[in-house]
Chains A and B, each alone.
Chain A
Amino acid sequence: MKGRLPHLLMGGAVTLVLGLGVAWLSASPAWRNAPENMALLRLSFTHSGDRSASCRDRTAEELAKLPRNMRQTQVCDRRRPPIHVELEVDGALIYSAESAPSGIAGSGPSRLYERLLLPAGVHELTVRMRDNPASEAFDYEATREVELHPGQSFVIDFRKDSGLIFE
């Protein structure tokens, strides 16, 4: 490296300037991924459709053909029905769709993940879910008035034991 001091200094200076540029670009310019004063609403369920509607009683004849230990009185489809979910925000229907069951045989839960940006402020949220195709109306329904703050993340989830959850 003898006689290379000028290269060390000049090359070092160039690399330093480049490095400062790289360091700057590693945190700026900032990226705004949502407009100002918005809140994030996510509607996400993982819930199994109710297949009881597909069940029927076995006839006495059928039962007689089965081995004694397998004589269950009901047969049901292996496949689960889809669930139907609707979301209304301030009276307007924003989302309405069926979610198919998961798994190759369709025996797994339906899964749903929707994101939506709402302006901050007070909103009336209504969620409905039908998990049994035999039901006339929705099996679950809830309305909630919420005040969303800018930058808030709000979630509507469902749990079997507690029903629809707003959090």
Chain B
Amino acid sequence: MRYIEPHGHMVSRTTDDYLAMVTAGCKAVCEPAFWAGFDRRSAEGFYDYFCQLTEHEPKRAAKFGLPHFSWLCLNPKESEDLALAADVLALIPDFLDRPNVLGIGEIGLNKNTANELKVLEQHIDLAVSRDQLILVHTPHLEDKLKGTKLIIDALLNHSGTRPERVIIDHVEEHTAPLVLDKGFWAGITLYPESKCTPPRAVDMLETLGADRIWLNCACDWGVSDPLAVPKTALEMKRRGHSGDFVDQVLYRNPHRFLSQSPNFRLQEET
């Protein structure tokens, strides 16, 4: 079995996790910029993080033969401070030409505030103006439905948005149809308690179709499972889905979306 992990915060993971992922069939890992678990105090902190995502982490992954790609942004949890956001946004353009950068992400909303929305719109504008793919984080738990609606409106309000170049992540049963109906890609995140389980993910694939959906584990510094994606393949097989269906969802779908970035190139394996 082969798979792509399109959303993993590998700077928070151990080398044992890299080894386990590669052993399970991982062919590429993509790492969106994320909240560190605490608020960074300055733009310099973000500069260092962007260097980590574009220089250091790809080298760490390469030791396991795993191609590593990254997405850059200011996380919505840190968007309340508009002055800091402006300083960080000014840093990003210089990093977009680095060879492992796929686009702008994971942008989005957290508590659905007016300031978060402003910073989201600035990120969308940057992505469109630089012809970058967009990876969107939708809010947690009770905030997800409202936030997903606000995010879709913000994306569609920008005349340059091309939905086929945007993936809206962390969808669940109440938000996935909203995302897919507007032509966006949808990401299902397999994450304990706060997001989705393997059985529910396969339910959504069965009811919504697998055309524009990818699965990811979003493993980070919290309780999370870097092998959640290959474990979901087991759930698919238990229900009688074919190996080709598993390959489509776990490998060909993320490959198709990510290949819209000229930086996403893999040595194809059969």
- Answer whether A and B are interacting partners: no
